Amino acid sequence: MGIISRVPVIAEKIPGGAIVATSLEKVLNISRASSMWYLLFGTACCAIEMMCTGASRYDFDRFGMFFRASPRQADLMFVAGTITYKMAPRVKRLYEQMAEPRYVIAMGGCACNGGPFYYDSYAVLKGVDLIIPVDVYLPGCPPRPESLMEACIKLQEKIMHEKLQEWSSDKRG
């Protein structure tokens, strides 16, 4: 029995007899945007604000975002705080262990561009985007939990407008 012969049966079971038509791309985008599993990579004061956002007052769970301790289960990485040259290979390795499609939010001035250490430190990376691609930049020292929630909403909006070819061909990095 083919799908065409099943359509009238499905249409009769739906109240009003309506059929909902959409594309596979939209269904995948909605499911990816509303169930992001995140990996925390916090090295400084921004990590405290990031943990605060995941706690009960701000509650990331209402966005469908759940913490994952393994990069193999995560599709979003929060890079928060100062990234040193010694730590950079570990950040890159964790990013490469994440499954496609994968996203990165750079949280705080240090992760975005080196922050106050830009000129004064030889050991600080001048932005995490030098080693991995970043989807959303969140400046601040440290940014408030409300700002992090807004950055996640911006990332969800970005995911909703993606094409399947954008992440299946691994052109992001």
Structural domain that includes position 92 = 34-168
Q: What is the pLDDT of residues 114-163, one digit of tens each?
A: 888 888 888 889 989 999 999 999 998 888 988 988 999 999 899 888 88
- Residue 107 resides in a domain: yes
Q: How many domains does the chain have?
A: 1
Structure tokens that stand for 19 in this block:
């059929």
Domain containing residue 91: CATH number: 3.40.50.12280
Classify 170 as helix, strand or coil.
coil
- CB count in 10 Å sphere of residue 144: 14
Which residue in the block uniquely carries the two structure tokens 């359509």?
Answer: 7
- Residue 13 resides in a domain: no
139 closest CA partner among 160, 161, 116, 122: 116
Whether the CB-CB separation of 81 and 53 falls below 8 Å is answered with no
Q: What is the pLDDT of residues 64-90, one digit of tens each?
A: 888 888 888 899 999 998 899 999 999
Beta-bridge mates of residue 41: 79
- Residue 101 resides in a domain: yes
- Residue 16 resides in a domain: no
The rounded distance, in Å, linking the Cα atoms of 84 and 121 is: 10
- Residue 26 resides in a domain: no
Structure tokens that stand for 139 in this block:
């400046």
